[in-house]
Chain A
Amino acid sequence: MATPRELDAFLADVERRAYKTAWFAVHNEENALDIVQDSMLKLAEHYGDRPADELPALFQRILQNTIRDFYRRSKVRNLWTTLFSALGGGEDEDDQEKIDRLRATDADQAERPEDALEQRRTLDDIEESLAKLPARQREAFLLRYWEGLDTAETAEAMGCSQGSVKTHCSRATQALAADLKAKGHQL
C-alpha cells in the first residue's frame, strides 16, 4: 500500500510531465491543468491503496483516459455549437470563449520570450512536432520514451497490443525526425 509520502513523491515526480503530456494533446493551459487535476484525484481516490510500484502505470492509464474523455466532450460540444450556428441560434459568450480557447493552438507558446536560447528553440520545435503527431503515436512515444514504461506497460495503458505500441513508437520517431530536419535541426 502506497504511503501518503510515496504518493506525494510520485505525483511530484510525474506532475510536470503529465501537464506537458496533456498540453500536447489539448494545446491549452487551463484544460491541461484540469486534466491533470482529474487524473490525480482519480488516482488518489480509487487507487491510493495500491502499492507504490503500480502507481506509474495506473496514473498513465488514467491520464490517457481523461484526455480521451476531454476529446469526446469537446467533440460533442463542438457538434452542438455547429448545429446552433447553422440554425442561427446564439450561444452565450462564455461558451464562445471556451470554444475559442479550445481552438487556440499555441496560446502558451506566445508567452515565451522571442530571444530564447538555441536549446529552448530546439525544445520548442520538438514540442511543436510532438503536438502535430497523431494522438495515438504521441501517446505511445511519450509513455514509452518519456515516462519510461516498457512495451507491455505502454500497451496496457493505451489498451492496445504490444505490436501496435512498437509500430506507433517507430512511426512517431520517424515523423518527429523528419519534422525536425525540415526545421533545420541536424539529427
Chain B
Amino acid sequence: MTHKTPHHDRPQEDLLAKAMARALDQGTDTLPSRVTARLAQMREQALSHQKQWQSALQLAGQSTHRAMGSLFGDSFGSATDWRRWAASAGILLVAGAFMFWQAQTQIEDLANEDSALLSEALPPNALIDKGFQTWLSTGTPAEKD
C-alpha cells in the first residue's frame, strides 16, 4: 500500500511513524493461515450482502415494469398514466363514432337518391339518352308547333 505524505510540523516524527507503519505492513504478511482463511471467508460473506445487488435487482424490476408498460399502453403505470390512457381511449372512441356516423350518412344519401330515381315514371335510362337531353334543353315539340 502507498502511504500519503502527512502534513505535519515535525518531519522527524513523520519519518519515524512511516517507518513503523512499513514494519507493521510486513507484519500482516505473517498472519496465521487460520486467520487469513477466516478473513477471506468474511469477505465473501460481505460481498454476498452488498447493497448494490439489492439495488440492481430493484432496477431490473423497474426495467421490466417499464417494458410491460410500453407493451400494454402504460396500463402498468401510475394513476397519472391511467388518466392519460383513459383520455386517449375517449378520443379514439369519439373519432370512431364520427367516422361510423359519416359512413352511415353517405350510405343513406345514396339510398335516397336511388329510391328517388326508381320511383320516377321516367325510366333511368332516359336520363343518359342524348335525344332526351336535347329535347329537355330545347323544349317540347308541341310548343314549336
Contact = CB atoms under 8 A, between A and B. Distances in A.
Interface in B18-64: 18, 20-21, 23-28, 30-32, 35-36, 38-40, 42-43, 45-47, 49-53, 55
Contacts of A146: 3, 21, 24-25
A148 B27 CA distance: 17
B46 A11 contact: yes
B3 to A, nearest CB: 4
B88 interface: no
A48 B24 contact: no
Contact of B52 (A16, A49, A145, A172): A49
B26 A4 contact: no
A150 B38 contact: no
A81 interface: no
A12 B27 contact: no
A85 interface: no
A105 B23 CA distance: 21
B52 A45 contact: no
Given A33-B42, A127-B24, A46 B17 contact: no
Contact-size category for A: 35 or more
A70 B30 CA distance: 26
A53 interface: no
A145 B28 contact: no
A45 B28 contact: no
Which label, helix, strand, loop or mixed, suits the secondary structure of the A interface? helix
Given A145-B6, A148-B3, A41 B49 contact: yes
Interface residues of B, number: 41
A75 to B, nearest CB: 26
A29 B24 contact: no
Nearest to A24: B24
A33 B21 contact: no
Interface stretch (B8-16, B71-79, B121-129): B8-16
Nearest to B51: A48
A33 B36 CA distance: 10
A65 interface: no
Contacts of B16: 173, 176-177, 187
B4 interface: yes
A20 B39 contact: no
B52 A173 contact: no
B42 A36 contact: yes
Nearest to B43: A11
B43 A145 contact: no
B8 A169 contact: yes
A46 B54 CA distance: 11
B118 to A, nearest CB: 81
A122 interface: yes
B42 A15 contact: yes
A3 interface: yes
6 contacts: A36-B39, A36-B42, A144-B17, A148-B3, A169-B13, A172-B17
Q: Enumerate the 7 nearest inter-chain pairs by beta-carbon distance, A residue then B residue, closest first.
A: A48-B51, A48-B50, A16-B28, A40-B46, A44-B46, A145-B21, A145-B17
